[in-house]
Amino acid sequence: MTVLKLSGSLSDDPASLDLLCEYISQQSSQVVVVHGGGKQINEMCAQLGIPVMQVAGRRITTPETMDVLLKIVGGSLNRGLVSDFRSRNINAVGLTGADGGLTIAHKRPPLTIDGVETDFQLVGELDAVDPSILHTLLSSGCVPVIGCLTWSEDHGYLNINADTFAIAIAKALNAEELVFLMEPEAVLDADKVPLSSLTHDEFTKGVAQGWITDGMRPKLETGFKALKSGIQSVKLTNPAGLAHQKGTILS
C-alpha cells in the first residue's frame, strides 16, 4: 500500500499527471492519492477579493475561505483529478475526508504563535480515521483520490493541512510507503547534488548550515514526522522521480 500526497502545483500539470498515472498503473500494490489545493485556493480567493490570511504558513479559514475550499478541494480540483486519471485508464474515485465517515475532527482551538493568540477559525484537528470506505474502494480495484477536508459534528466541514491529513490516512491504512510529491526530483545538498537518502541528523545540520531552507524545510519536517509516527518508508520526489525510482528517502 502506497499513499501519494499530491500538491496543488502539480495537479494541473499534464506531464506530471502522465508520469503519475504511469507509476500507478505499474504498481502491483494498492495506491491512494491525497491532495491539497493551496495554489488553486489562493487563485480563486484573489479572483473573489477574499483575503488570504496565513500565520506561520498555516491558513486561517474564514467562512468565505471555506466556501472556496468546498468549490476547489471538494469540487473542481477533485473532479478534475478524477477526470484526468480516468482519461489515463486509472479507475479513480473522488471523495474528501468528510465522506463515508472517513474522518472525524474538532475545531482547532486558538494557538499562541510568536506571543500572539490566533484563531484559525474553520480548521480541524483529527480525532479519528475510519478507513472502511477506502478498503471497500481498494478491494474493488479503485484508486481513491481524497481532498483534504474533514468533518466535525459541531462545525460541519473543516479545513485540514494536507500533509498532516496524508500521514493520518497512511497510518490508518497501515501503508508501507508515504510519498510527498513536490516540484524538485529530490532534496539537494549544499552543492545542489540530489540526495538519495537523508537522516534526521543530516537534516538538522543542513538547516544549521543553510542549505535546507525556505519551503524545503517544512516539507522535510513533515516527512520526518511521518517517519516518527511509524510509517515504514517516506520519500520526497516529483512524478518524474516517482516513475523512475528516484527521489530522497528519509531515514
Q: What is the pLDDT of residue 13?
A: 84
Is the residue at 250 inside a domain? no
**pLDDT confidence of 177, banded at 50, 70, 90?**
very high
Mean pLDDT of the chain, nearest integer = 93
Share of the chain above pLDDT 90, in %: 80
- pLDDT, mean of residues 191-220: 91
Distance, CA of 59 to CA of 215 (rounded, Å): 15
Is the residue at 188 inside a domain? no
Closest to 63 (Cα-Cα) out of 136, 157, 139: 157
| Structural domain boundaries enclosing 63 | 34-161
Q: What is the pLDDT of residue 222?
A: 87
Is the residue at 167 inside a domain? no
Q: What is the pLDDT of residue 70?
A: 97
Is the residue at 127 inside a domain? yes
Is the residue at 11 inside a domain? no
The torsion angles phi and psi of 16, rounded to 5 degrees, stand at -65, -40
Residue bearing cell 475550499: 69
Cβ atoms of 160 and 212 within 8 Å: the answer is no
Cβ atoms of 97 and 146 within 8 Å: the answer is yes
CATH of the domain at 154: 3.40.1160.10
Is the residue at 102 inside a domain? yes
Q: What is the pLDDT of residue 226?
A: 92
Count: domains in the chain: 1
Is the residue at 94 inside a domain? yes
Residue 114 has pLDDT above 80, yes or no: no
User: What is the 3 state secondary structure string of 153-166?
Assistant: CCCEEEECCHHHHH
Digit-coded pLDDT (tens) for 42-74: 999 999 999 999 887 789 999 999 999 999 999
147: amino acid identity, one letter = G
Q: What is the pLDDT of residue 112?
A: 87
**pLDDT confidence of 214, banded at 50, 70, 90?**
confident
pTM of the model: 0.92
- pLDDT, mean of residues 129-146: 97
Q: What is the pLDDT of residue 75?
A: 96
Residue 138 has pLDDT above 80, yes or no: yes
Distance, CA of 102 to CA of 184 (rounded, Å): 31
Residue 14 has pLDDT above 90, yes or no: no
Is the residue at 246 inside a domain? no
Chain centre to alpha carbon of residue 31 = 14
